[in-house]
Structure formats: structure tokens, C-alpha cells
Chains A and B, each alone.
Chain A
Amino acid sequence: MRSLLICAAIAVGACTPKTATPPIAVNDAWARPADSAGTTAAYLSIVNHEFTSVKLQSASSPQAATVTMHETMAMTGMIHMIPLDTGATIASHDSLHLRQGGKHLMVTGLTRRLAAGDSLPLVLTFSDGRVVNAVAIIRAP
């Protein structure tokens, strides 16, 4: 009986997360400095700890008119920004990296100047209705 209890305790322990890992984690969010009313890009990583895929549907910021997802693509000698209007899917236990020269958040109509050291609040909305807040640190790479 005692060994059964120990086994049960071990089993419960194995299923209980050791730390409170958020189901969707946003890491390393940053954006470039920009003038008020200007445009910048925000970059970040999203880790999906869920057992199902999630889709980043849209983004916004209380300090910008619009935040839209794009992907920079170099094709036939030209640079294009492809709108990612249908969102970006992140598979279970996978990551989405928004990085320079690739997928990014275009932030337009800033309501204030962003200087190095400032921060820009971002609101990420997922297709299942979840909303995740993030803060991008402003820095010049």
C-alpha cells in the first residue's frame, strides 16, 4: 500500500509543472527607435507550450495607430513586404521568431517618440481569443 502511495505521489509530481510556465510565452521583444508619428518594426519570439497549435491573429499597441504582421522578402532583386493578414500559426511546442529581415510587426502612427531605453507595449491576439501582453524594449541594434 505504501509503495502504491509513493508511486501515486511520484506520478502526480511528474504531471505537476515545477514552475508556472505560461502556455504562450513571449520573449526578447524589442523595437527600433522612431519619431512620433513614425514607423518602426517590433521583433519577438513566441513559444507555444500548448499541446495544440495556436495562431497569432493580430497585434496592436495603445501607442500606435496600427500594428500589422509582415514578412520581408527579397525576390528578383527587389525587397517586398508581404502582409501576413491571415496570421502566423505556431505548432505545439514550437516557436515563432519575428526577426530582422523576416517576419516582423510593422508599427505605424506612433503616438510618441521612441528613444533607446523606452518601451512599447504590444497586445498580441490569438485565434482562440487569447490576448497576451508584451513589452518591446527600444534599442538601436
Chain B
Amino acid sequence: MITRYAIRSWASLSALCLLGVAASACRDVPLHGVAMDDPHPAPPLVIASASGAAYVLAADTGKFVLIYFGYTHCPDYCPMMLTDWKRVKRELGPLASRMRFVFISVDPDRDTPESTALYAQGFDSTFIGLAPPRKELDAIQQAWAVTSYKEYSKSPGRPADSYGVAHPAHAYLVNRAGRLQALYPPETRWQDVAADLRKLFSCVHC
């Protein structure tokens, strides 16, 4: 009886140690991106998609998810980000099938679920483009601590409906446990994002 209790205690202790090692192993993977000190659960994302079914981040537990907040009228930076993702996906090969690439519009006045889905798919047919309506977007931005706002040019001659949207510079990486693993600032090379993902794929705890 004592022996059985001792074995059970030892097993529990070992499991706890392993969990500790797992958490620390996940945290300690050296990354090119800005790694979270203590990956915490990503805020929820539930956004109606163009197909009618909602995109649910929690349903992608078990996959790495790259998320970027941008807008489809963004002529320069957002296409650069999505082109980099295309390269990351190509570089990762079969591993990429265990990933999601999610582009979320912060321009509800111009972007629709349909136009945003088409925009994302223009870079890769598997990329997900979402455009939450204003109220939902506000809640998402608050939960994710994301800011965005319109920027108008005050110069004469500019069309009144022509505006840019200031949006977060970095992409978010959610790990397979649904935790925020890292941020990727604008200066990150796509090769480094791919290298990080390869490293994280080989970490069984992330």
C-alpha cells in the first residue's frame, strides 16, 4: 500500500516536473521574433467569414496561427506582409498544413468579409481574410490591445473618401496551445519567421 502510494506520488511529482519543464521549454525557445516571457492564452477570436461559418481561433488549437491586423486598401505594407507569409508557407512545405494565416481588416467602412477573403486568397488560397463589423472589431481590438485609426490628408485635391488606416505593425503568433508565443515587428525577415516556426514545430510543448 505504502509502495503503491509512493509510486503514485512519484508519478504525480514527475508529471508536475514535466509540465514545469514543458512550460519552461516553450518559453525558452530562442526566437527571432519578440518572444512572450510567459505565453498567455490568446484572446478569443470569433468572426463571421464570407462563407457564413464563423472563424473561431479556439478551433485552431493544435495549429500555429499567424495573425495580422491590416486593411485591403493598404497598398504597400499589408501586401508585403502577406507576400512574406506566402514565402514562409512555401519554405515550411508540408509543415504549413498545420498552420493558419489570418488577416483581419481594421477598416470596416470599406472592407467586407467577401472583399477581405478575396484579398487574402489573392496571395494564397489557404489564407483567411476576415472583416468584422465595427462593433465586433472594437471588442476584438480591446481584447487584443490593438489600435487602429483613419488618417486623412489635409492637402487640397485629395478625394474626401481617401484615407489610410494606421494599424499595428507587428504580426502575432499563437502557438498550438492557443497561447501568444511571439510578435513579429516589421523589420523581421520572412526567413527568420520560417526558422522560428520550424524551431517551434520541433518543440512538442509549444
**A residues adjacent to B (C-beta < 8 A):** 32-33, 35, 38-41, 65-66, 68, 70, 72, 74, 77-81, 83, 85, 100-101, 104, 106-108, 140-141
Interface of A is mostly: strand
Query: Is the pair A106, B75 in contact by a Cβ cutoff of 8 Å?
Result: yes
Chain B, residues 155-190, CB within 8 Å of chain A (1/0): the string is 101110010101111100000000000000111000
Contact B77 A72 (CB under 8 A): yes
Q: Report the separation of the CA atoms of residues A74 and B80 in the bound assembly, to the nearest whole angstrom.
A: 13
CA A72 to CA B79, docked complex, whole Å: 12
Contacting pair A79 B79 (CB below 8 A): no
Beta-carbon contact of B83 and A83 below 8 Å: no
Chain B residues lying within 8 Å of A83, measured Cβ to Cβ, are: 153, 155, 158
The answer on a CB contact under 8 Å between B153 and A85 is yes
What are 23 A-B contacts with C-beta separation under 8 Å? A32-B79, A39-B72, A41-B75, A68-B153, A70-B76, A70-B164, A72-B77, A74-B186, A77-B168, A77-B170, A77-B185, A79-B74, A79-B186, A80-B166, A81-B76, A81-B151, A81-B164, A85-B158, A100-B76, A101-B186, A106-B75, A108-B75, A108-B162
Determine whether B73 belongs to the interface, using a CB cutoff of 8 Å to chain A. yes
B75 and A101 contact, CB distance less than 8 A? no
Question: Are the CB atoms of B153 and A80 closer together than 8 Å?
Answer: no
Q: Complex formed: what's the CA distance from A74 to B170 in Å?
A: 10
Residues of B within 8 A of A32 (CB): 79
> For residue B30, which residues in chain A have a CB less than 8 angstroms away from its CB?
none
Q: Which residues of A contact B75 (CB under 8 A)?
A: 39-41, 70, 81, 104, 106-108
The answer to whether B79 touches A80 (Cβ under 8 A) is: no
Residue count of chain B within 8 Å CB distance of chain A: 29
CA distance A95 to B80 in the complex (A): 23
B residues neighboring A (CB under 8 Å): 70, 72-77, 79-80, 83, 118, 122, 147, 151, 153, 155, 157-159, 162, 164, 166-170, 185-187
How many Å from the CB of A33 to the closest CB on chain B?
7
Residues of A within 8 A of B186 (CB): 74, 79, 101
- Chain B residue numbers with a CB within 8 Å of A140 are 83
Beyond A35-B122, A140-B83, 16 additional pairs, beta carbon < 8 A: A32-B79, A38-B72, A39-B74, A40-B75, A41-B75, A41-B79, A68-B162, A70-B164, A79-B70, A79-B166, A79-B167, A80-B166, A81-B75, A85-B158, A100-B76, A106-B76
Residue of B nearest to A32 (CB): B79
Give A70 to B76 CA distance when docked, in angstroms: 9
Q: Give CA–CA (A100, B79) in the complex, Å.
A: 9
- Residue of A at shortest CB range from B159? A66
Closest B residue to A77 by beta carbon equals B169
Distance to closest chain B CB from A37 (angstroms): 10
| Minimum CB–CB distance for B96 against chain A, Å | 18
In the complex, are the beta carbons of B164 and A108 less than 8 A apart? no
Q: How many Å lie between the Cα of A80 and that of B70 in the bound state?
A: 11
